[in-house]
Amino acid sequence: MTVTLSAKPPKGLFIRTYGCQMNVYDSERIRDVLKPLGYAPVESPDAADLVVVNTCHIREKATEKVYSELGQLKRLKEASGGRMTIAVAGCVAQAEGEELIRRQPAVDLVLGPQAYHKLPEMIARASRAIGDRLETEFDTIEKFDALPKTREADGPTAFVSVQEGCDKFCTFCVVPYTRGAEISRRVDDIVAEVRSLAVQGVREITLLGQNVNAFHGAAPAIEGQGVWSLGQLCRHISKVGGIERIRYTTSHPRDMDDDLIAAHGDTPALMPFLHLPVQSGSDRILKAMNRGHTADAYRDIIARVRKARPDIAVASDFIVGFPGETDADFEATMQLVRDTGFAIAYSFKYSSRPGTPAAEMHGHVPEAVKDQRLQALQALLREQQSAFNAAQIGRTLPVLVTGKGRNPGQAHGRSPYLQAVHFDGPDHLTGQIVDVKIRAASLNSLTGELVSLREAAL
Ligand code: 5AD
Ligand code: SF4
């Protein structure tokens, strides 16, 4: 008689991610944390044993999407005879907690952004039908410490979380409540993660944090006590073999210190792209938002950054229709945009979030006025984005190749300014930095031709 020993089949994992890059990173780490338990990613939720919905709470629309997604998953769970486990992670989980389970009883597990390293334990408890279905304690230090120090790369670019949370308490924002206080990861741990990615071929690292330039992580053990700033961290990471490009996002004007500005001038690996949200160009509104700086202070920072790195692409976020915003306040925002010149920007209508100070303010702006202002702002921003892209025509840019194009013989990559670049080139270029001469530009991408392979020179 022969006995065949077969390995346990993998359990299907489907993760749906909403919101910011921090959530994208967290979803990758959730996948890593679940791998030892035999969970392997599947293409669609109907093939999954476990579905994780990683949620965003930043605006009302984002939260609504979560509930409609959970309604669809409930039907899939019923169709699976109850075999599917549904977990809700991220900021809606943090903000709504038990309310979520009450509103959608098909949800099995609810875990806040600081708790996903506890997911294996929660799944085990759920399968034995014991204990809590809810884990929303703030335990960021524990979370950073509990994360595996190495991880699997997924292409030549990767996010690495270095800081989490926010103490700024902008009056419109839920982040300080959902992500907790600012906390930084230790430099040694960050470097270990970067090294593990570099040996797998990652060339570009984006350092992530809700307030990434507030980073103040414990210095490397060999350097003794003390904390490092983001500028120091960037210089250090630029020395890790294989890492050619560094980016960071998202930053706050108040934390844009001299050393970080200097790093843009003295660290070639630090890419010429700065995402520095300003939200409004009106001092009155900036004050009501509790941003802690004026419009001119923002202009001054941009001028200093441009002095250090003249070609830097500047990106920003804007909110229109904050309570009390007048036509004159909005015009001040338009003027700041005209004065600055943005490569790309994200703009939103103010969305009132329960529990934030702005929700209680007077002078909420009618939806139709918000719509008009958003349209006017976006038209101006689109114009600037097109102009910024068009300005690259004729230049030869170093492009990090991120993958093959739709048709054979086509490839795509990223310019130093984070623009998508399409060009004709052989299939094996992914992960290399090549020179592409830019021939055409549109609102969202550049097209060019391959001039040379730089790798030989590296
Ligand atoms: N309403 C609209 N936009 C918001 N943002 C944050 N909170 C709100 C809100 N209540 C925007 C800000 C921030 C970006 C991530 O989302 O512009 O920079
Ligand atoms: Fe929200 Fe302001 Fe903190 Fe950014 S800095 S996460 S907008 S509170």
CATH number of the domain encompassing residue 60: 3.40.50.12160
Q: Tell me, using a 6 A CB cutoff, whether residue 70 lines ligand 2.
A: no
pLDDT at 45 over 60: yes
Query: 390, 405, 421 — which closes off a domain?
Result: 390
Q: Where are the alpha helices (DSSP H) in 199-279?
A: 230-237, 258-266
- Tell whether 452 and 407 lie within a shared domain: yes
- Give the DSSP letter of residue 43: S
Pocket test for ligand 1, best of 23, 57, 59, 337 (most atoms within 8 A of CB): 59
> In this prediction, what percent of the chain has a pLDDT beyond 70?
92
Cis peptide before 396 (omega within 30 of 0): no
pLDDT at 400 over 90: yes
Residue 145 CA to ligand 1 centre (angstroms): 29
> In this prediction, what percent of the chain has a pLDDT beyond 90?
75
pLDDT at 211 over 80: yes
Whether 148 is in a domain gets the answer yes
Query: CA 377 to CA 319: how far, in whole Å?
Result: 10
Cβ atoms of 43 and 80 within 8 Å: the answer is no
Total domain count, the chain: 3
- Tell whether 160 and 308 lie within a shared domain: yes
> Residue 219 carries which side chain, given as an amino acid letter?
A
- Tell whether 110 and 148 lie within a shared domain: no
| pLDDT at residue 328, as a whole number | 98
125-150 pLDDT per residue, tens:
776 654 556 666 655 556 677 666 67
Residue located nearest, by CA, to atom 2 of ligand 2 = 170
Query: CA 457 to CA 280: how far, in whole Å?
Result: 45
pLDDT at 97 over 70: yes
242-254 pLDDT per residue, tens:
999 999 999 999 9
Cα distance from N-terminal residue to C-terminal residue, the chain: 59
Whether 2 is in a domain gets the answer no
- Tell whether 345 and 313 lie within a shared domain: yes
Q: Tell me, using a 6 A CB cutoff, whether residue 176 lines ligand 2.
A: yes
| pLDDT at residue 127, as a whole number | 67
- Tell whether 192 and 43 lie within a shared domain: no
Q: Which ligand is located closest to the Cα atom of residue 167?
A: 2
pLDDT at 86 over 90: yes
Q: Tell me, using a 6 A CB cutoff, whether residue 322 lines ligand 1.
A: no
Q: Tell me, using a 6 A CB cutoff, whether residue 421 lines ligand 1.
A: no
Residue 317 CA to ligand 2 centre (angstroms): 11
Q: Tell me, using a 6 A CB cutoff, whether residue 169 lines ligand 2.
A: yes
Whether 3 is in a domain gets the answer no
pLDDT at 457 over 50: no
**Which CATH number goes with the domain that contains 361?**
3.80.30.20
- Tell whether 146 and 135 lie within a shared domain: no
Which long-range contacts (C-beta less than 8 Å, at least 24 apart) are formed by 400-406?
A: 400/156, 400/157, 400/203, 400/204, 400/244, 400/245, 400/431, 400/432, 400/433, 401/156, 401/425, 401/429, 401/430, 401/431, 401/432, 401/433, 401/434, 402/155, 402/156, 402/157, 402/430, 403/155, 403/430, 404/430
Band the pLDDT of 120: cuts 50, 70, 90. Answer: confident
| pLDDT at residue 80, as a whole number | 86
- Tell whether 239 and 317 lie within a shared domain: yes
pTM: 0.90
Residue 437 CA to ligand 1 centre (angstroms): 37
Whether 1 is in a domain gets the answer no
3-state secondary structure of 399: strand
346-387 pLDDT per residue, tens:
999 999 999 999 999 999 999 999 999 999 999 999 999 999
Band the pLDDT of 2: cuts 50, 70, 90. Answer: very low
Whether 4 is in a domain gets the answer no
pLDDT at 411 over 60: yes
Atom of ligand 1 nearest to the CA of 351: 1
Query: CA 94 to CA 104: how far, in whole Å?
Result: 15
- Tell whether 112 and 211 lie within a shared domain: no
| pLDDT at residue 130, as a whole number | 47
Query: CA 396 to CA 434: how far, in whole Å?
Result: 10
- Tell whether 170 and 122 lie within a shared domain: no
Whether 169 is in a domain gets the answer yes
**Which CATH number goes with the domain that contains 417?**
2.40.50.140
Atom of ligand 2 nearest to the CA of 176: 8
Residue located nearest, by CA, to atom 7 of ligand 1 = 173
| pLDDT at residue 131, as a whole number | 53
pLDDT at 22 over 70: yes
- Tell whether 228 and 268 lie within a shared domain: yes
Band the pLDDT of 32: cuts 50, 70, 90. Answer: confident
CA–CA distances in Å: residue 26 to residues 47, 94, 162, 328, 412: 22, 14, 12, 40, 26
- Mean pLDDT over 51-71 rounds to 91
Whether 250 is in a domain gets the answer yes
Tokens of 201: 């071929």
Query: 92, 122, 140 — which closes off a domain?
Result: 140
| pLDDT at residue 456, as a whole number | 38
Q: Tell me, using a 6 A CB cutoff, whether residue 194 lines ligand 1.
A: no
110-119 pLDDT per residue, tens:
998 888 888 8
| pLDDT at residue 204, as a whole number | 98
All residues at 6 or more sequence positions from 100 whose CB lies less than 8 Å from its CB, including other chains = 88, 92, 93, 107, 110
| pLDDT at residue 1, as a whole number | 46
| pLDDT at residue 191, as a whole number | 95
3-state secondary structure of 358: helix
Query: CA 69 to CA 104: how far, in whole Å?
Result: 11
Q: Which ligand is located closest to the Cα atom of residue 321?
A: 1
Band the pLDDT of 405: cuts 50, 70, 90. Answer: confident
pLDDT at 175 over 80: yes
Q: Tell me, using a 6 A CB cutoff, whether residue 57 lines ligand 1.
A: no
Query: 333, 366, 390 — which closes off a domain?
Result: 390
Q: Which ligand is located closest to the Cα atom of residue 317?
A: 1
Cβ atoms of 395 and 381 within 8 Å: the answer is no
> What is the extent of the structural domain holding 72?
11-140
Average pLDDT over the chain reads 91
Tell me which range, 94-98, 430-434, 453-457, is most confidently predicted by mean pLDDT. 430-434
Whether 346 is in a domain gets the answer yes
Phi, psi for residue 104 in degrees, rounded to 5: -135, 90
- Tell whether 234 and 371 lie within a shared domain: yes
- Tell whether 107 and 146 lie within a shared domain: no
431-448 pLDDT per residue, tens:
999 999 999 999 999 999
Residue located nearest, by CA, to atom 14 of ligand 1 = 317
Q: Tell me, using a 6 A CB cutoff, whether residue 175 lines ligand 2.
A: yes
CA torsion sign, 359 to 360 to 361 to 363? positive
| pLDDT at residue 121, as a whole number | 84
